[in-house]
Amino acid sequence: MAVPVKVMHGLLAENDRIARHNREHFDRHGVVAINLMSSPGAGKTALLEASIEALRGELDVAVIVGDLETDNDARRIRARGVPALQITTGAACHLDAAMIHDALHHTPLEGLDILFIENVGNLVCPASFDLGQHRNAVLLSVTEGDDKPAKYPVMFRAADAMLVTKTDLLPCMEDFSEQRASAALRQLGNAAPVLPLSARRGGGMDAWLDWLRAAKRERRA
């Protein structure tokens, strides 16, 4: 059974080569690229909508969104006056570096501060494909259960920040413990910040926005 393993290895090596090339594109333009990953419906697009409003007039952003079908998310982003390109993946459960490279030909980077990449909702596959991003933000909504970092370690090990989303629902989610979710992340040896927030009600957004500003500052340096 060595052949499939070899093929997979070759695919990933080619992906990583294109990812490095994407990163050169971003670096040349001084753009920081942030990859948002989560299970379906954890609140990636809602977070983008709230972040766009909060950063308006301060940082210029654009968005590349991956989904199996529909351009719903891109339309939601464009409604906020921000350029958004939808990649419709069909059957593919993740974005890869070549898809992002193609999208870059339709996404002018001049003058941009942050390029958000909203990955396909999936807690498994996206973690294996480098896109050329500088940071991974992994969302865990309070309705999913605090054991997700333990059950999907590859994704959560890759997180540069773990966002605990929909905290406005905590009063109804008596089982969810933010402390247990953080402990599960630490158990993986990941010291990334844990940022609880509600895109809907606004709580916790400041820490997330500061994390973005810091990422941008570090790229500029």
Ligand X SMILES: Nc1nc2c(ncn2[C@@H]2O[C@H](COP(=O)(O)OP(=O)(O)OP(=O)(O)O)[C@@H](O)[C@H]2O)c(=O)[nH]1
Site string for Zn ion, 39-78 (x = CB under 5 A): -----xx---------------------------x-----
CA distances from 205 to 53, 78, 169, 185 (A): 11, 21, 15, 21
Instruction: Choose the stretch contacting ligand X; rule: CB under 6 A; options: 3-11, 41-49, 123-131, 186-194.
Output: 41-49
Contact by Cβ (8 Å): 80, 53: yes
Helix axes 44-55, 205-220, angle to 10 degrees: 70
Binds ligand X by CB under 6 A, chosen from 32, 33, 35, 44: 44
- Dihedral, 76, 133, 67, 164 alpha carbons, nearest 10: -70
45 scored as a contact of ligand X (CB under 6 A)? yes
Beta strands (DSSP E) in 96-191 are: 114-118, 135-141, 161-165
The least distance separating Zn ion from the CB of residue 21, rounded to whole angstroms, comes to 5
Q: Where in 105-134 is the site for ligand X (CB under 6 A)?
A: 121
From the list 153, 158, 112, 152, the residue with the least C-alpha distance to 134 is 158
In order, the DSSP letters of 180-191 are HHHHHHHHTT--
The least distance separating Zn ion from the CB of residue 78, rounded to whole angstroms, comes to 13
Binds ligand X by CB under 6 A, chosen from 40, 102, 186, 218: 40
The least distance separating ligand X from the CB of residue 74, rounded to whole angstroms, comes to 11
Cα gap 71→89, rounded to integer Å: 11
- Dihedral, 123, 209, 57, 27 alpha carbons, nearest 10: -60
The least distance separating Zn ion from the CB of residue 1, rounded to whole angstroms, comes to 35
The least distance separating Zn ion from the CB of residue 220, rounded to whole angstroms, comes to 22
Instruction: Choose the stretch contacting ligand X; rule: CB under 6 A; options: 35-43, 105-113, 144-152, 176-184.
Output: 35-43
Instruction: Choose the stretch contacting ligand X; rule: CB under 6 A; options: 11-19, 36-44, 53-61, 145-153.
Output: 36-44
Given the rule CB under 6 A, which residues bind ligand X?
Answer: 38, 40-46, 73, 121, 165-166, 168-169, 198-200
